[in-house]
Amino acid sequence: CSNFLDINPTDAQTSDTFFSTSVEARQALNGIYEKLRSDYNATIPNNNALLELTLGDDAYVGGASSGTDMLWLQQMMRFQALTNSEAAQQSWNKCYGAIQRSNTLLANYDQINFKSNEEDLKNNYKGEATYLRGHFYFELVRYFENIPLITEPLVGDSWQSVEQGEPSVVYAQIAKDMQDAIALMAEEIPANEAGRLTKYAAMSELVKVYLFYTGFYGQTELPVEGGTAITKADATQMAKDVINSGRFTLATNYADLFNENGNYNPEVIFEIAFANTGSGDWGDYSYGNIMCQMAGPRAHNGPTFAQGWGFIAPSRDLEQSFEAGDARLGSTIKYAKDLIDEVGSVHEPHFNYTGMHSNKYTTHTWNQAEVNVELNWAQNYHYIRLADVYLMAAELMVDTDPAMATQYVNVVRRRAGLADISLVSLADIQQERRVELAFEGHRYFDVLRRGLDAAKTELDVTNYTLTPPTDTDAQYINDQGQNLTGDIAADPTVFEINFDKAKRGFLPIPQVEIDLHPLLKQNAGY
């Protein structure tokens, strides 16, 4: 009975035997993709767009009227995130989980036997794994700045010597990964595989990386690990290549991006997929878009929206930045008044209530699942879409080719039903980005990359006065005397925000990371 004790697991393979064919390569790749939608791990919402709008000035964090609902988001909104911020930690863990999986697949790539007819697949998969590593590092570095850079699998106790990398080194690795990936990735993905990423997603995001790095750090070039730095001209060309590829077209109707036609709209370049599986599993195995549930109005069930948790309270600042006649306003903001009119009764005001709700990623009834509604909002998140690239290209060319820049901005404006601008300025582009891309995960970084002083000017809210109700009919007033068509707060200072420059706009390195690994240093200001 010498081998009586040697039994093998029935639900897993050992790492020695796992990688053999393209099947395992694909399984390992799925494991990386899976982290894109893993935004509700441990029931802590950590969706990229959600954290962005928590920090940014497009919306307030709502939740239960006590103001203590998901306290970590309230704190983050006020730039008072605690070092043990749950959302920051989950976001950190999600990105590093994906990076570990990329590193594992890439380190074992050579031992996989692809068949002779799988040469494209072999390149594409490797490209996608490499790009996704870059993508997750970009998320990490722009939320946390000082992060460990790990590009090989960590074996045994080797993690104990890991230290934070210089941001420029991290950015150089991101640029290298994306450049390497662009050469390997597919031009197009068949519809039955939609969700896998093409080289254009990598090119678009690399432009975004260029803009953030050069903007925030006051540089002219984006360094590339072991390669030639990316110049403004390179970035411009990349953006143009995406625009001119002919593979993406602006949706004729802006509203189509966020309604039943939203998923895999031809405008979208980088799409994160969610699904309605009917699953009742709270946490990481819920496949819906938790941002939708977070956004929906509390205790409202009507023909347009189902109930949500009321966490996204659009700011008056955002509301006012829409020009008159902007078709995008209605697709971005849903007024509580309209919802109340639909059902004839008030819903529950959330904290930092402004009488408005998001109309983008939210509890659209057309998308409502039959069971376990909260967990099954199958609305895909458009991380990068063509309008974003138009506006990035315009920003890059506003000095070098103002005519083309103006043309790009006007393409976007025309769709919104707005008049052309004759010659765009940088400020025009910034304004256009805000209203075009509200609630989509970009605004805060667009502000932050203008520098800390500009960010403070943009983000600070002082001397807030409550916006009075638009209607005084009794049907808008709840039994506590609160009118849901205006701002609601016992104390208007809850709407005030003070950007803390000492923190440089970044989140704290999760406390548990430093506790478990004292070689890591906390970010400034925490």
Partner 1 sequence: QERVITGKVTDAADGSSLPGVNVKLVDTSVGTITDLDGNFKLSINDSHKEILFSYIGYLPETVEIGQNSILNMQLTQDIEQLEEVVVVGYQVQKKSVVTGAIASVKSEDITQVPIQNAAQSLQGKTAGVLVTPVSGQPGSGIDIRVRGTGSNGNNTPLYVVDGVQLDNINFLNPGDIESIEVLKDAASAAIYGSRGANGVVLVTTKKGKAGRTIVSYDGYYGVQEPWRKTPLMNSQEYMMFHNEGALNAGQGVKFTPDQMAANTTDTNWQDEMFQQAPIQSHTIQMSGGTEKSTFMTSVSYFGQQGIIAPEKSNFDRYTIRLNSSHDISKYFKAGTNFTFSREESKGINEQNQFGGVLQNALLHDPLTPVWEDRQDVIEAYDAYAVTPANRNGRYYAISDQTLREVVNPMARIENTYAENAGNNITGNVYLQLTPGIEGLTFRTDLGVVTGSGYTRGYVPEAYYNNVNQSIVSSVNQNSTGYTTIQWENTANYKKKFGKHKLDFLLGTTMRQSYGNGLGSARNNLQIPGWDYAYVSNGADDETQKGYGYYWQHRLLSFFGSVNYNYEDKYMLNVIARYDGSSRFGPNNQYGFFPSVQAGWVVSNEDFMKGGEKFNFLKIRAGWGQVGNENIGDFGFLELFGGTPSYPFGVNQTMQPGFAITRMANPDLKWETAQELNVGIDAGFFNDALTATVDLYNRQRIDLLGTKPVPGFTGVGGPLSNLGTVQNQGIEMSLTYNTKIRDLEIGVTAVGAYNDNKVTKVDNGDGRIYGNGMFQTQGQTMMEEGFALPYFWGWKTDGILQNADEAKAYNEMYGESAQPGDIRYVDINGDGVIDNEDRTDIGTPVHSWTYGLNVRLAYKGIDFTMFWQGQAGGKLINGTLRPDLQQDQNYPARYLNRWTGEGSTNEFPRFTYQDDNQNFTRINDMVHIEDASYLRLRNLQVGYTLPTHISKKAGMSNLRVYVSGNNLFTFTNYSGMDPEVGHGGALGYGFDFGSYPQARSYLLGLNVTF
Contacts with partner 1 in 30-59 (CB under 8 A)? Answer: 30-34, 36-38
Site membership for partner 1, residue 405 (CB under 8 A): no
138 Cβ contact list (under 8 Å, min separation 6): 174, 205, 208, 209
Q: How far is the CB of 295 from partner 1 (least distance, A)?
A: 15
Structure-block tokens of residue 162:
């890991």
Q: Which is nearer to partner 1, 110 or 479 (CB)?
A: 479
Q: Which is nearer to partner 1, 150 or 222 (CB)?
A: 150
Q: Which is nearer to partner 1, 412 or 507 (CB)?
A: 507
Contact map string, positions 254 to 283, toward partner 1, x by CB under 8 A: ---------xx--------xxxxxxxx---
Between β-strands 381-385 and 268-272, what pairing exists: parallel, antiparallel or unpaired? antiparallel
Q: Which is nearer to partner 1, 74 or 236 (CB)?
A: 74
Q: Which is nearer to partner 1, 37 or 142 (CB)?
A: 37
503 Cβ contact list (under 8 Å, min separation 6): 79, 523, 524, 525, 526
85 Cβ contact list (under 8 Å, min separation 6): 72, 75, 76, 507, 508, 510
> Which residues within the stretch 8-27 sit at the binding site for partner 1 (CB under 8 A)?
9-15, 18, 24, 26-27
Among 303, 512, 524, 525, which residue sits at the site for partner 1 (rule: CB under 8 A)?
A: 512
Q: Which is nearer to partner 1, 91 or 214 (CB)?
A: 91
Q: How far is the CB of 264 from partner 1 (least distance, A)?
A: 5
Contact map string, positions 204 to 243, toward partner 1, x by CB under 8 A: ----------------------------------------
190 Cβ contact list (under 8 Å, min separation 6): none
Q: How far is the CB of 19 from partner 1 (least distance, A)?
A: 9
Question: In this chain, which stretch among 91-99, 214-222, 320-328, 381-389 interacts with partner 1, using CB under 8 A?
Answer: 91-99
Cα first-last separation, the chain? 59
Contact map string, positions 463 to 482, toward partner 1, x by CB under 8 A: ----------------xxx-
Q: Which is nearer to partner 1, 7 or 324 (CB)?
A: 7
Among candidates 247, 223, 261, which has minimal Cα distance to 389?
247
Burial class (CB in 10 A: 0-12, 13-18, 19+), 68: exposed
Among 46, 47, 89, 523, which residue sits at the site for partner 1 (rule: CB under 8 A)?
A: 89
Q: What are phi and psi of 477, to 5 degrees?
A: -110, 130
Among 194, 229, 419, 502, which residue sits at the site for partner 1 (rule: CB under 8 A)?
A: 194
> Which residues within the stretch 104-143 sit at the binding site for partner 1 (CB under 8 A)?
104
Q: How far is the CB of 274 from partner 1 (least distance, A)?
A: 7
Between β-strands 268-272 and 333-335, what pairing exists: parallel, antiparallel or unpaired? unpaired
CB 37 within 8 A of CB 272: yes
> Which residues within the stretch 481-510 sit at the binding site for partner 1 (CB under 8 A)?
481, 490-491, 510
Burial class (CB in 10 A: 0-12, 13-18, 19+), 514: middle
Report the alpha-carbon distance of residue 451 to residue 506 in Å, rounded. 12
Q: Which is nearer to partner 1, 299 or 421 (CB)?
A: 299
3-state secondary structure of 164: strand
Q: Which residues pair with 382 in a beta bridge?
A: 271
Q: Which is nearer to partner 1, 56 or 486 (CB)?
A: 486
Q: How far is the CB of 37 from partner 1 (least distance, A)?
A: 6
Report the alpha-carbon distance of residue 201 to residue 181 in Å, rounded. 10
